[in-house]
Each structure stands twice: as C-alpha cells, then as structure tokens.
Amino acid sequence: MAHYSILVTSSPYEGQHAQRAVSFINSAIAQGHTVNNVFFYGQGVHHANGFMVEVGDEFYPLAAWQALKNDHNVTLLLCITAAVKRGIVGEQEAASAGVSGANVAEGFEQAGLGEFFTALHDCDKVAQF
C-alpha cells in the first residue's frame, strides 16, 4: 500500500478543494493506504485558523481536518512562515509580536518547509489540493 503526503495550497472556501482533499484522504485510508501528513502552505494555512466558525449546513473544513487528526492520527503540519505572514499565529508568535491571542486551531502543528521536505522521504506519493 502507498504512503501519501498531502499538500494543501488552496484556501478553505476556494471552490471545493478542501472537500475534495478530505474525501481523497478518507478514501485512501479506507483502501488501506497511509496518509503520513497534510502540509498547509500558502493560502492553505487559512485552514488552521481557529477563529473560523461553522456556518449553517456548509462544509466546515476545520472540523474535517480535526476529525482526520483524531480518527486516523493524520499529522497536520502548518507552514509557520506562510501562516504568520497571513495572521495565523501560535502562542509563541503571538507573544513575541505583541498580538493579543493565538489562533492556530487545535490539532495543527507548526513546521517549516524543510520539515515537510524531510517528511517526503517517507512517502511514495504526493497529492496537492
């Protein structure tokens, strides 16, 4: 079976990219494949914004990512540089920048691009959404 790394570069509500990504990951896992990690980069870092609020009956990407983390132990890696540039900050960045609070959602781990590239050595395939 294959080992996947997933790269998410689209924003949470840009078309149906988030829904397709989550569906792809769930299907891969159901077929016996392993999803080693999901790396959020560029506009994709907005998926980790803990201030997102569920609205009505729309697909809620944040809950879907957290479910993948909780149900299948999928590592959710957030590019720290791309995130900070877009106002998505963890506790440490908030404190050093004098920002009133952090907004990285639970379940996401901050990482550098180098960490993602290193993790690619442990996978057979990469899918980008």
Q: Is 123 a catalytic residue?
A: no
Across the range 97-117, mean pLDDT stands at 93
Q: Which numeric CATH code is attached to 3-128?
A: 3.40.1260.10
pTM of the model: 0.95
Annotated catalytic residue, options 8, 18, 35, 79: 79
In which band, very low, low, confident or very high, does the pLDDT at 1 lie, cut at 50, 70 and 90?
A: very high
Question: Which residues pair with residue 70 across a beta bridge?
Answer: none
Largest Cα separation within the chain, whole Å, is 47
At 58-82, the pLDDT tens digits run 899 999 999 999 999 999 999 999 9
Tell me the average pLDDT across 38-54: 96
Closest of 44, 51, 50, 102 to residue 78, by C-alpha:
44
